[in-house]
Structure 1
Amino acid sequence: MKTLIIEDEEQAISALMAEIQYHCPELEIVGIAQSVKDGAEKIRMLEPELVFLDIQLSDGLGFDLLNLVKDKHFHLIFTTAYSQYAIKAIKFSAIDYLLKPIDGNELREAVKRAIQSSQQDYKKKLETFLQNQLNFGRKKIALPTSDGISIFELESIIRCSSEGNYTCVYFVGGKKMLFAKTLKEFEEMLGQSGFERVHHSHIINLDHLTSYTNKDGGYVILSDKSTVPVSQRKKAQLLAILNNFNG
């Protein structure tokens, strides 16, 4: 598998190459780039099948590089020393990332997933990620659907409920859609945007919360008149949030 490393630190390059040679001999390192500009040029020139991309480069972000590349016919694994740096969008889009220093076992598993995934599937994941990066801070979210990728305003989402390995999202106006994402993945993506997990099977949009009652163990009523149970473990946290509404 033709592999390109895009990383601006010599020590990190040497460390990653050593881990690849030891744990992933099936990878052929065809080039190294150390900047956004050089990385985009080498992708076009070398046509790699797999790219290891550092998030923070000397002349910009790895995300900037991806926006420069028109034809993204490669699998992608992000590398970063910053555990909080856009990790939510990366994880939600199901793109692999490795935290530095690179762990050999995690590297091998990420490469295995890349080899087993179809290029079409990876391209859709990458498009979803880039859209979510674009929407970061704009109160929107990109979700992969059977037809492609749909963009939703966060304020249009009332609640999310677990359906095993899927999540049902309920929207303003009565529409609901099923997505191939776990509730935990939605929690990681929406947790800092006014959404709260009040039960192991439910996440609610606090902007759509109309009331809370202690009856029947405790539950909330939302703007669409739906009711959602609140678990004992989550009750204190929810009440603390409600008590802060006025202050």
Structure 2
Amino acid sequence: MSMLNAIIIDDEPDSVKNLEKIIHEYCPNVNVIAKANSVGDALIEIENKHPGLVLLDIELQDGTGFDVLEKSRHRNFEVIFITAFNQYAIRAFKHSATDYILKPVDITELREAITRVSTNRSEKSVGNFSILLDNLKSESPRKLAIPTLQGYEYILVDNIIRIEAERSYCTIFLLDKLKIMVSRCMNDYQKILDERQFFRAHNSYLINLQHVKMYVKRDGGHIEMVDGSIVPLARRKKDFFMEAMNTFMT
């Protein structure tokens, strides 16, 4: 595994000291070359040192870690967010395929995150940061980063009609009649997609309520989507579905 030159950006001295100690003891391929506790200092260090990895806290003295990403001219680095931030931000991280670790830092989680960024370094970083920043500006994340063999494909959440699961794979069906197969389980997508817009109609189906065409009562009940696809509705979920649709439309 190649060496990574890293910058720690955090305004809590104890957190910086603890993180640096963990890296020194458990992450031999990471070399901490600088530290910063503000947006201004972070931008200077990134510009001068050109790190391969930035360990970035959210709350800083004069702004946020997101300000660092927005203002940085040098973005060819990986980022691992070190955060005690809220669930809304965590959902945005997951949508954009951005690594994050919750405080207090867990040694195993940090090592796994560093391994991921070390083995998957690519030009994806800039695209993922852009998706993350875009998602954080809206109440509900608008884009989703989908892993592919070539890297990541970025899709609009509103363009998803449904997601179908088969064993450990999922197929995402889009408005433009495209479909993308990914090696992630349905539960992952149910967790990160807004429950006010997406409904688990069946163990194998997650649907976008925005693209429901009609509910059909016969034969136990099913849902027809705007692309003509038929989605089975589990009997025990009928009332929940009707409630979800009513809530979505109000």
Q: Is the 8 A contact 2:124 2:151 kept in 1?
A: no
1:141 aligns to what? 143
Shift of 1:216: 3.5
Distance in 1 of aligned mates of 2:87 and 2:51: 28
RMSD: 2.9
Q: Secondary structure at the match of 1:11?
A: helix
Shift of 1:239: 3.4
- The 5-angstrom pairing of residues 111-150 of structure 1 reads 111-134=114-137, 136-137=138-139, 140-143=142-145, 150=154
Distance in 1 of aligned mates of 2:245 and 2:95: 28
Q: Is the 8 A contact 1:160 1:170 kept in 2?
A: no
Distance in 2 of aligned mates of 1:44 and 1:243: 51
Q: Secondary structure at the match of 2:87?
A: coil
Q: Deviations over 1:120-141 (max 9, x none)?
A: 244443343334335x237732
TM-score (norm: length of structure 2): 0.82
Deviating 4+ runs (over 6 angstroms): 145-148
Q: Is the 8 A contact 2:34 2:45 kept in 1?
A: yes
Question: Structure 1 regions of 5+ residues with no counterpart?
Answer: none
Q: Is the 8 A contact 2:162 2:207 kept in 1?
A: yes
TM-score (norm: length of structure 1): 0.83
Shift of 1:25: 2.6
Distance in 2 of aligned mates of 1:143 and 1:49: 21
Comparing 86-95 and 234-243, the one that deviates more? 234-243
Matched, 1:170 2:146: no
Q: Deviations over 1:186-243 (max 9, x none)?
A: 4334324522121222222223324334444432122333221123454442233246
Shift of 1:162: 3.2
Distance in 2 of aligned mates of 1:148 and 1:243: 35
Q: Is the 8 A contact 1:128 1:149 kept in 2?
A: no
The aligned length equals: 243
Distance in 2 of aligned mates of 1:126 and 1:181: 22
- The 5-angstrom pairing of residues 1-247 of structure 1 reads 1-134=4-137, 136-137=138-139, 140-143=142-145, 150=154, 152=156, 154=158, 156-162=159-165, 164-171=168-175, 175-178=177-180, 180=182, 182=184, 183-232=186-235, 234-242=237-245
Shift of 1:53: 0.3
